[in-house]
A and B are shown apart, each in its own frame.
Chain A
């Protein structure tokens, strides 16, 4: 079993839709969870960061962590064509252990 599982998509939605992106993981020691956005031919950029369980909201983006289910989600409200990118989840036990990445979900938002 891979440590982090993420559906690669591609996921195609109409503009204005609510998007849900998800990752599951197997290591219960993970405490720090991140979402990165990667545009084509660019480096990943940090989008959301959460510690332990709970929700975090930033504008149209909400990150949700359920440690009991080992499941994390990223919700995008009112999706825009500019949200079209690959979204990577990442997680770790601490700052002294390597980040473990999901393989990324490719999202297309159609105008």
Chain B
């Protein structure tokens, strides 16, 4: 089984809808991250969490919110989706102060 899982893997939604992307991990890592990837723009950090009670904004947090429900679960919400949030979204994890991160398989989101 994959160490980092993301659900759904693909999602089509309409402008204005609220959607949630979920991430779960079995690696036992304390730190979790949400990124979006766009062609030509690379990976950009949205939010990150060093533990259950810690949430930090990344480079592009506007229009997004997160919830760290447990050490193993980190959800990303789009309160009112807009077309320019169409992207590939990745969850990642890391352990303690180690620099290396481990990525999930991604969620492909299309906002119409």
Identify the A interface with B (CB < 8 A): 8, 32, 34, 36, 41-46, 49, 88, 90, 92, 94-96, 98-99, 101-104
Given A42-B106, A44-B103: A98 and B98 interface contact (C-beta under 8 Å): no
Q: A34-B99, A43-B103 are in contact. Are A95 and B94 (CB under 8 A)?
A: yes
Is B112 engaged at the interface, CB distance under 8 Å to the other chain?
Answer: no
B interface with A by C-beta (< 8 Å)? 4, 33, 40-43, 45, 48, 50, 58-59, 90, 94, 96-106, 108
Of B97, B99, B106, which one neighbours A99 at CB under 8 angstroms?
B99
Give the dominant DSSP class at A's interface.
Answer: loop
**Given known A-B contacts A42-B105, A88-B42, A98 and B48 have beta carbons under 8 A apart:** yes
Query: Could you name 11 residue pairs across A and B whose Cβ atoms are closer than 8 Å?
Result: A34-B99, A34-B100, A42-B106, A43-B90, A46-B100, A49-B99, A88-B42, A92-B99, A96-B50, A99-B99, A103-B40
